[in-house]
Amino acid sequence: MTPQDRSRRSFLKTSAVLAGATPLIAGLPQALAAEGDGPLMAYVGTFTSPLRDVLPTQVDLPPGNGRGIHLFEVDRHSGAMTPAGIHEMGTSPSDLAINDAGTRLYSANETDRVGEDKQGTVSAFAINRANGKLELLNTVSSGGAGPTYVSIHPSRRFLLVANYFGGSVAVLPILADGRLGKASDVKVDEGEIGPTKATHAPEGSFAISGHDRTHAHMILADPSGRFVMHVDLGLDKIFVWKFDETTGTLTANDPPSVSLPPGDGPRHFHFHPNGRWFYSIQEEGSTLVLFDYDAETGRLTARQTISTLPPGFKGSNFCSEILVSADGKFVYAGNRLHDSIGIFSVGSNGELTYLGEEWTRGNYPRSFNFDPTGRFLYCCNQRADHITVFAVNRETGGLQFTDHYAAVGNPSSILFLDLAKRN
């Protein structure tokens, strides 16, 4: 038996334990049919070829096999994806956000080709509710190079942008017609860069990615919209801002940030549905950290640190995505190089327990997302040029591969929109 065969059998064994005795997909067609048979669309952000010319030294980035924003129609019964068109873009629309009404889509274009100061861009699109097609409304400067994350503020009046290569965050007004205005605020990260060796790095790890300079990687408001958080991987910090909905500006909270262990590199985070627990994933330390969140003051207090990897793992790994299930019972963590999704149960006090992991059936899982029902999870395998589909056991948290792949060049993110539902 080859090492690859042993590894595959290990993943399958873990999946079987998590799935339990009842077949994971049994009964899904009947349940899904009851919700209606209107079109369900998936929008996939990708890296496109011009990015290699702009940032040739970034070893994390692929050659750019994507062609822009790829559209798919999703089979509600099986989870399978059927190509439904491409909105061609050469600026690597790597991250996407859709408004609550399902009428506008925004893309972070991970490039640095705007103006003398070499900034990236963000684009606004109108969504055709009949077929899901996109129509470009406008494109504006992102306030820094290489925008890698966008999110819509709960007020629905502002788009928040994290510029990875610029080490900055920006607030862009959303105009009445959905177009984007000029930034109402831009904050540039400052501080001491963390070490290239992560405090919690697995034994033998050479996972060094973002500790060369400041790198703003994610930005998101808390559920109330009063506070905005963003992470800087290079500074090993999570910044907390007070947000003024009248002016669209950010003011440093007290304290203005919380620090993660040196070199661990916070990348993404996700609030628990109860709004009191905040989970952060560290790219180079391969850890999850649970914070208690005080919604009145915007303060974060660390309470638990746990590895994203199985016991005994040694070598290099880069963490990627983190998601909390809609019911708050499970947390899912992406592992690149290990090419797995770690599965954790959430205890009554918010603390995590490692349950196992599922092999992603691809290379370098950059992100993943649930469909609107939470019954399927879609994994963007960046370097494998495909998306894999898993059925979710919502009782055990287990993932079961559906045998469905979707071909996409260097997929980076995936979002869903139910065209049969008026949001």
| pLDDT tens, position by position, 170-224 | 999 999 999 999 999 999 999 999 999 999 999 999 998 889 999 999 999 999 9
pLDDT in tens, 350-407: 999 999 999 999 999 999 999 999 999 999 999 999 999 999 999 999 999 999 999 9
At residue 52, the pLDDT reads 47
pLDDT score of 422 more than 90: no
Residue 49: band (very low, low, confident or very high) from pLDDT cuts 50, 70, 90: confident
Element (H, E) at 79: none
pLDDT score of 62 more than 80: no
The CATH fold assigned to 10-418 is: Methylamine Dehydrogenase; Chain H (2.130.10)
In angstroms, what CA-CA distances link 324 with 123, 135, 293, 327, 380?
28, 32, 15, 8, 17
At residue 53, the pLDDT reads 46
pLDDT score of 298 more than 60: yes
pLDDT score of 23 more than 50: no
Q: Which of 325, 225, 313, 227 is nearest to 270 (CA)?
A: 325
At residue 24, the pLDDT reads 40
pLDDT score of 285 more than 60: yes
pLDDT score of 60 more than 70: no
> Is the CB of residue 278 less than 8 Å from the CB of residue 301?
no
The pair phi, psi for residue 404, each rounded to 5°, is: -105, 130
pLDDT score of 10 more than 90: no
At residue 113, the pLDDT reads 72
**Which residues does 54 contact at the CB level (< 8 Å), separation at least 6?**
111, 112, 113
> Is the CB of residue 228 less than 8 Å from the CB of residue 185?
no
At residue 21, the pLDDT reads 37
pLDDT in tens, 122-137: 999 999 999 999 999 9
CA distance 82 to 406: 8
Q: pTM for the whole thing?
A: 0.92
Task: Give the domain ranges of the chain.
Answer: 10-418
At residue 208, the pLDDT reads 86
Burial class (CB in 10 A: 0-12, 13-18, 19+), 304: middle
Residue 22: band (very low, low, confident or very high) from pLDDT cuts 50, 70, 90: very low
